[in-house]
């Protein structure tokens, strides 16, 4: 370890740079080796005990996270190793799949990784690219890439890997290509820190041409309104009109008589010329249709949505502040005004989150679900990333249904004993030996099967001493204990 970098000359700094990269690569490989060993000690069939009896943990199964030829791993074990690494379950599962592929399907590449001669992320990427190949054909990829991964750039390695995947199984590649041709999608990305989002769609060629034609026409109409916008920015402004069908139709009707047929570069070849009428229809309307549409009330076409905005009270009185819009992310008050400017706005009553709501029934009413989400902000599993409202609502302290013949204790459901969990996290919490308890509004203590303690609160996930977690979990019912 070099402590005084300012004492090194140029040659020594170059040597140190090479040493640090090599050490980092070996550390990343070590991380993958630990994951693989965790999988190895959890590779027995969880549905059978050592004496052939049924499984002790209901619902645990062997899952194959890697490709063909890799060993299975117990599903319930994935959560705890993810928590120990301080990552989400998906990231850990992906890393485990990659290292199992490298060890069992790509051993030559894995040998290069073990020597610290290549970047682990490149090897992992090749493992993912080749995962669809059967075990008896993936060797084509392993042989070719292992000879170049330590000496070529990442871009060239991945290009060759893609070609070798095709070469290894051409028929399977054709099947995948055909499946891709049948696959359509429209995907909305996450909002960034500037209040912008990416929208990507894969459409039939004819539909894509019609959308492009409409986009070009709207851009032409609105260009005088946005003299500062050019090129892609103007097209993005035009695209936003597609989200407001009533306003879009009104705009096209008002400018129908001035519509022209611009020369659009739509990427059409001779075989696709039959699709051009779709573009023409997007640019003009028949006279009888125009007359009929001008008399139609278009207000029912206006978009309706529920928008959840979180804003500090001080911002309403002139103090600079930032609003957080669910599904959009943080935004300034000026941008919030733009967002709400075209809506028929209805203000819902402000919810007092300090109210302690209690119910005897097992089910969580919608009002409680809303309150719990506002307090927790999303999944209360340690290191969970989801902030969605589409999750299960869990009782951290398990609900007592009165299975002993007596009536269930009252007031078990409420803001004092409710937390949102994703379905997979909920299943693990219920069946895989995890314990949790709520110890205040939006504060939850966890203890994993192997004794890792965590506190989840408004500031994130924090490691706590297992004995502290156990003391909180074992405290009598009705006693609120706040962890330090």
pLDDT in tens, 125-171: 999 999 999 999 999 999 999 999 998 988 889 989 988 998 888 88
What was the pLDDT predicted at 281?
43
Residues 289 and 321 in one domain: no
The CA R_g of the chain, rounded to the nearest whole Å, is: 29
> How many domains are there within the chain?
4
Give the CA distances from residue 55 to residues 41, 430, 432, in Å, rounded to whole numbers and listed in that order. Answer: 16, 15, 11
Q: Tell whether 191 is covered by a domain.
A: no
What pLDDT is attached to residue 450? 92
Q: Name the domain boundary from 314, 330, 350.
A: 350
Q: Reduce the secondary structure of 371-399 to three states and give it as a string.
A: HHHHHHCCCCCCCCCCCCCCCEEECCCCC
Q: Within this chain, do residues 363 and 463 fall inside the same structural domain, yes or no? A: yes
- pLDDT higher at 444 or 406: 444
In a domain, 335, yes or no: yes
Q: Classify residue 194: in a domain, yes or no.
A: no
Secondary element (H or E) of residue 473: helix 466-473
- Tell whether 381 and 264 lie within a shared domain: no
- Please check whether residues 275 and 208 belong to one and the same domain: yes
Q: Give me the half-sphere count of Cα atoms (radius 13 Å) on the Cβ side of residue 119.
A: 11
A 10 A CB-CB count for 284 gives: 16
- Single pTM value for the model: 0.67
Asked if residue 136 and residue 16 are part of one domain, the reply reads yes
CB neighbourhood size of 85 (10 A) = 16
311 in the same domain as 295: no
How far are the Cα atoms of 208, 278, 363, 382, 445 from residue 431, in angstroms, in the given order? Answer: 48, 55, 20, 17, 17
Q: Do residues 24 and 173 share a domain?
A: yes
Residue 232 pLDDT class (50, 70, 90 cuts): confident
127-130: long-range contacts, CB 8 A cutoff, minimum separation 24: 127/67, 127/97, 127/98, 127/101, 127/102, 128/94, 128/97, 128/98, 128/101, 129/158, 129/161, 129/162, 129/165, 130/67, 130/101, 130/105, 130/106, 130/161, 130/164, 130/165, 130/168
Per-residue pLDDT at 484:
54
Residues 52 and 115 in one domain: yes
Phi and psi at 421, nearest 5°, equal -140, 135
**Residue 186 domain flag:** no
Question: Could you tell me which of 206, 84, 188, 175 has the C-alpha nearest to residue 463?
Answer: 84
Binned at pLDDT 50, 70 and 90, residue 65 comes out as: very high
Q: Report residue 271's pLDDT band, with 50, 70 and 90 as the boundaries.
A: very low
Residue 185 inside a domain? The answer is no
Residue 456 and residue 470 in contact, taking contact as beta carbons nearer than 8 Å: no
pLDDT of residue 197: 85
**Which distant-in-sequence residues (6+ apart) come within 8 Å of 189 by Cβ?**
197, 198, 199, 200
What is the arithmetic mean of pLDDT over 168-197? 81
- In a domain? residue 56: yes
Give the contacts of 354 (CB within 8 A, at least 6 positions apart). 441
457: nearest Cα among 431, 473, 439 = 439
Using the predicted structure, report yes or no on whether residue 398 has a pLDDT greater than 50.
yes
Helix (H) or strand (E) holding 331: strand 329-332
User: Which residue range forms the structural domain that includes residue 331?
Assistant: 304-350
Is 312 found in the same domain as 295? no
Q: Are residues 327 and 366 in the same domain?
A: no
Q: Are residues 446 and 468 in the same domain?
A: yes
Position 269 in a domain:
yes
User: CA 171: distance to chain centroid?
Assistant: 32
Section 48-75 average pLDDT: 79
Is residue 91 in a domain?
Answer: yes
Mean pLDDT over residues 247-272, rounded? Answer: 59
My answer on whether 26 and 155 are in the same domain is: yes
């Amino acid at each position: 370890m070099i402590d005084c970098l300012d004492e090194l000359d140029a040659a020594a700094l170059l040597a140190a740079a090479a040493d640090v990269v090599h050490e980092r690569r070996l550390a990343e490989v070590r991380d993958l080796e630990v994951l693989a060993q965790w999988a190895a000690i959890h590779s027995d069939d969880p549905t059978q005990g050592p004496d052939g009896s049924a499984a002790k943990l209901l619902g645990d199964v062997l899952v194959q996270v890697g490709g063909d030829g890799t060993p299975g791993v117990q599903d319930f074990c994935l959560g705890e190793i993810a928590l120990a690494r301080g990552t989400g379950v998906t990231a850990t599962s992906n890393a485990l799949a990659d290292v199992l592929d490298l060890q069992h399907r790509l051993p030559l590449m894995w040998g290069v990784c073990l020597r610290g001669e290549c970047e682990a992320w490149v090897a992992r990427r090749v493992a993912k690219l080749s995962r669809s190949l059967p075990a008896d054909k993936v060797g084509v990829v392993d042989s070719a890439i292992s000879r170049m991964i330590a000496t070529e750039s990442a871009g060239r390695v991945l290009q060759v890997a893609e070609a070798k995947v095709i070469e290894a199984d051409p028929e399977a590649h054709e099947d995948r290509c055909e499946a891709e041709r049948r696959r359509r999608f429209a995907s909305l990305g996450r909002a960034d820190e500037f209040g912008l989002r990416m929208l990507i769609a894969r459409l039939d060629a004819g539909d894509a041409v019609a959308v492009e034609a409409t986009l070009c026409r709207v851009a032409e109409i609105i260009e005088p309104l946005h003299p500062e916008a050019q090129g892609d920015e103007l097209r993005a402004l035009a695209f936003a009109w597609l989200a407001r069908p009533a306003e879009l139709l009104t705009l096209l009707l008002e400018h129908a008589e001035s519509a022209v047929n611009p020369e659009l570069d739509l990427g059409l070849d001779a075989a696709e010329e039959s699709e051009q009428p779709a573009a023409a229809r997007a640019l003009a309307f028949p006279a009888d249709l125009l007359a009929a549409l001008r008399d139609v009330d278009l207000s029912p076409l206006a978009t309706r949505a529920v928008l959840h905005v979180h804003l500090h009270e001080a911002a309403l009185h002139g103090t600079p502040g930032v609003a957080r819009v669910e599904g959009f992310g943080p935004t300034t008050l000026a941008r919030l005004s733009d967002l709400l400017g075209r809506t028929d706005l209805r203000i819902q009553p402000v919810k007092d989150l300090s109210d302690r709501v209690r119910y005897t029934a097992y089910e969580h009413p919608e009002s409680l679900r809303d309150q719990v989400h506002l307090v927790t902000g999303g999944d209360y599993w340690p290191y969970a990333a989801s902030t969605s409202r589409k999750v299960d609502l869990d009782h951290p302290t398990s609900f007592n249904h009165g299975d002993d013949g007596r009536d269930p204790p009252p007031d078990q459901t409420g803001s004092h004993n409710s937390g949102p969990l994703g379905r997979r996290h909920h299943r693990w919490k219920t069946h895989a030996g995890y314990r949790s308890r709520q110890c205040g509004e939006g504060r939850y203590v966890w203890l994993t099967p192997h004794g890792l303690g965590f506190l989840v609160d408004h500031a994130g996930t924090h490691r706590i001493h297992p004995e502290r977690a156990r003391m909180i979990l074992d405290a009598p019912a009705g006693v609120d204990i706040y962890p330090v």
